[in-house]
Amino acid sequence: MTDATATDLSKDAAATAAVALVEPGMRLGLGTGSTAVIFVRRLAQRAAAEGLALRCAATSKATAQLAASLGLRVEELDDIGWLDLTIDGADEVDPDLNLIKGGGAAHLREKIVAMASDRMVVIADQGKVVDRLGQFHLPVEVIPFGWQTTRKLITRALDALDLGQRPVLLRQRDNKPLLTDEGNLILDLALEAIPDPQALADRLSRIAGVVEHGLFLNICHVAIIGRPDGSVVELQREDFE
Ligand SMILES: O=C[C@H](O)[C@H](O)[C@H](O)COP(=O)(O)O
């Protein structure tokens, strides 16, 4: 089995297990990314068979489009108001269930949706589980106005934490800057390790021009980690408030 096949099977195992958490009538947040796509597809199959009467809020235009095309009822988050459960992927999951998200540039809407949910459940393959966050690049969404100045301020904040790395503007294949669903830019931080995620999150949040970073701290309740043989392991945070 190739690594890619093992990863796909693991994502499928996690997504399939998460579908079983969905109860009839739930108000559901739908994540973004390849694992979330599998979840949405499997959820739509179950909803078609059982008629679950779900109300779904999507974390990206892509997910909204996919879910609606598969027959799920997708509404604006504000029309639903509050969600029972959000299921989403992640780029990294640490032992405290803190996350890096935003590899698909969707972390702003993802964080809003996750924070408007009673429970956020992450679905991921084993490769996403890390001892310490930071190997995966950390995306920071910034508004286009003065973005190079914002980048300087981010660099200064990183220097203060001895994380000195120059943020890189994320571009599309045609070399144009990538725009998020909100029309903003993404600055990618290659940090290797983040000794104190809360300190970094606080610094980034204080910078004018930063809309949102990809650190999800104390937001995820459960992580379902899939394995290639179809089994899953559930990671829980005991002390979650
Ligand atoms: O912006 C994208 C999201 O945060 C994704 O949930 C994350 O990148 C994980 O994606 P995937 O399931 O494709 O690894």
User: ipTM greater than 0.95, yes or no?
Assistant: yes
User: What ligand 1 atom has the least distance to the C-alpha of 105?
Assistant: 1
What confidence score (pLDDT) does residue 165 get?
77
Q: Strand pairing of 83-88 and 27-30?
A: parallel
Tell how far the Cα of 155 is from the centroid of ligand 1, in angstroms: 25
What integer pLDDT is reported at residue 241 of this predicted model? 47
Nearest to 120 by CA among 201, 20, 47, 223: 223
Centre of ligand 1 from the C-alpha of residue 110, in Å:
10
Q: Which domains does the chain have, with CATH numbers?
A: 3-130+218-227 (3.40.50.1360), 138-210 (3.30.70.260)
Of 101, 112, 219, best ligand 1 pocket probe by most atoms within 8 Å of the beta carbon: 101
Does any ligand 1 atom lie closer than 6 A to the CB of residue 107? yes
> What is the chain's pLDDT, residue by residue, as a tens digit (241 residues)?
788 898 999 999 999 999 999 999 999 999 999 999 999 999 999 999 999 999 999 999 999 999 999 999 999 999 999 999 999 999 999 999 999 999 999 999 999 999 999 999 999 999 999 999 999 999 999 999 999 999 999 999 999 999 977 899 999 999 999 999 999 999 999 998 999 999 999 999 999 999 999 999 999 999 999 999 999 999 997 655 4
Ligand 1: which atom is nearest the Cα of residue 89?
6
Residue nearest to atom 7 of ligand 1 (CA): 90
- Alpha-carbon dihedral angle through residues 69, 75, 77, 25, given to the nearest 10 degrees: -100
Which of the residues are catalytic? Answer: 110
Q: Between the CA of residue 163 and those of 30, 39, 95, 107, 132, what are the distances in Å?
A: 33, 35, 22, 22, 14
Identity at 78, one-letter amino acid code:
D
128 a known binding residue?
yes
Q: Under 8 Å CB-to-CB from 49, ≥6 apart: which residues?
A: none
Cβ pair 30, 56 in contact under 8 A: yes
- pLDDT, one tens digit per residue, over 93-134 is 999 999 999 999 999 999 999 999 999 999 999 999 999 999
